[in-house]
Amino acid sequence: MNGTGMTDINLNLAVDTLSRVYPSGEGQVTALRPFTHTFQHGMTAVVGPSGSGKSTLLNLLAGFDTPTSGRVQVGDTDLHALDETGRADFRLAHYGFVFQNHNLVAILSALENVEFPLMLAGVPPKERRDRARALLAQVGLERRTGHMPAQLSGGEAQRVALARALVSDPAVLLADEPTGNLDSKTGGEVLELLLAPARAGRTVVLITHDPEVAARADFTLRVKDGEVKEESRVLV
């Protein structure tokens, strides 16, 4: 994010022979087999059975985990060539995250949670407060700004987490089962909030178990035993 709060929304996310092998007791688990792919702008759904490697892929895309081979390229940046601090700054500027559990900071209000990434990015107080308010309004929570996470319903907390993920208008939005703990109506609302940036040209990567959610995405990657395959869409 630069001083005007604008990020380069055209950053391309690509992976080249990306793989991850975890040590496991005496042996090893191949969680992700070498995978090469360019993520298109819009929404890519990542589907597949439990334990197939979906979260491993997302954690590598995020730079939370280190690949056994290959690279994650975001625009001109090789994510894993950065040091820890560089990667953290890069994430702050270009990434948004949503997880199955909202991961809100318990001692901060809804508004403060949404402001938090902007504070870390050095955005001045008035500007960050205004933007956080605007985002909470966008997710329909303008009346919950002063609530603490424990005072919010599951769906409300997840919408606060979305507002926090979207507040810096990131080029890349990564979501791991964000609707997994929600009823279908609330899950649908959260999905709409993720589709909006996808339609605005951001790159959204969404892990989901729900075929109805996956059907709304522009592209699908199917993961099975660590192998990722592009699924072609039959247009009807």
Residues forming contacts to Mg ion in the complex (CB under 5 A) are 55
- Residue 190 makes CB contacts below 8 A (sequence gap 6+) with 155, 158, 159, 162, 178, 179, 182
- Residue 226 makes CB contacts below 8 A (sequence gap 6+) with 30, 31, 32, 33, 52, 53, 56
50 forms part of the interface with ligand ADP (CB under 6 A): yes
229 forms part of the interface with ligand ADP (CB under 6 A): no
Strands in 203-207's sheet, in edge-to-edge order, are: 95-98, 172-176, 203-207, 42-47, 219-224, 227-231
Q: Name the CA radius of gyration of the chain, rounded.
A: 18
The DSSP element (H or E) to which 194 belongs, if any, is helix 184-199
Q: Which is nearer to ligand ADP, 51 or 201 (CB)?
A: 51
CB of 109 to Mg ion, least distance (A): 29
- Residue 86 makes CB contacts below 8 A (sequence gap 6+) with none
54 forms part of the interface with ligand ADP (CB under 6 A): yes
Residue span 7-26 as binding mask against ligand ADP, x where in contact by CB under 6 A, dash where not:
---------------x-x--
CB of 69 to ligand ADP, least distance (A): 16
CB of 160 to ligand ADP, least distance (A): 24
In degrees rounded to 5, what are phi and psi of residue 16? -130, 120
3-state secondary structure of 135: helix
CB of 75 to ligand ADP, least distance (A): 25
29 forms part of the interface with ligand ADP (CB under 6 A): yes
55 forms part of the interface with ligand ADP (CB under 6 A): yes
CB of 211 to ligand ADP, least distance (A): 16
Size of the site for ligand ADP (CB under 6 A): 12
CB of 55 to Mg ion, least distance (A): 3
52 forms part of the interface with ligand ADP (CB under 6 A): yes
Q: List alpha helices for 21-83, DSSP H.
A: 54-62
d(CA 105, CA 108): 6
Q: Which is nearer to ligand ADP, 64 or 124 (CB)?
A: 64
- Contacts to ligand ADP from residues 101-140, by CB under 6 A: none
Contact residues for ligand ADP (CB under 6 A)?
22, 24, 29, 31, 48, 50-56
